[in-house]
Amino acid sequence: MTFDVGIGKCRSVQSDSVDVWVDGSIVRRLAPETKWQRDGISVLQVPSKVCSARHRVAVGEEVFLDTALINPNSAGKLDVEGSGDYAKARLSLLVPTIDPTPAPPPPSRKASWR
């Protein structure tokens, strides 16, 4: 099953990447150990190839990623403080894990009747 995930507002578009302003929920998924400051300053740079074809990428609009295009090795760059200091970020952390065949429930403990 494939679907799109909205990640934030487009800041700029280059030929091979898109810069997106992201909020605290995205920052916490990508870098939970980071002391995040406030909304509106963090920037995530993602490769254009993982952006959804169903939603046009435009400056000032929401950016959507196509989950079918994201694999465990997909990477972007995250600038938490908006200072231009980017660190590698695993984009697979943005994709919710959906298991189409859930594991069976654990066996119930029956009371032992003596």
- What are the pLDDT tens digits along the chain (114 aa)? 678 999 999 999 999 999 999 988 899 889 888 776 666 789 999 999 999 999 999 999 999 999 999 998 999 999 998 888 999 999 999 987 654 556 667 766 666 665
Q: Number of H helices and number of E strands within the chain?
A: 1, 6
DSSP 17-61: EEEEEE-HHHHHHH-TTS----TTSEEEEEEGGGB-SSS---TTS
Q: What's the confidence (pLDDT) of residue 91?
A: 94
**Alpha carbons 4 and 70: distance in angstroms, whole number:** 11
Q: What's the confidence (pLDDT) of residue 24?
A: 87
Q: What's the confidence (pLDDT) of residue 83?
A: 86
- Whole-prediction pTM: 0.79
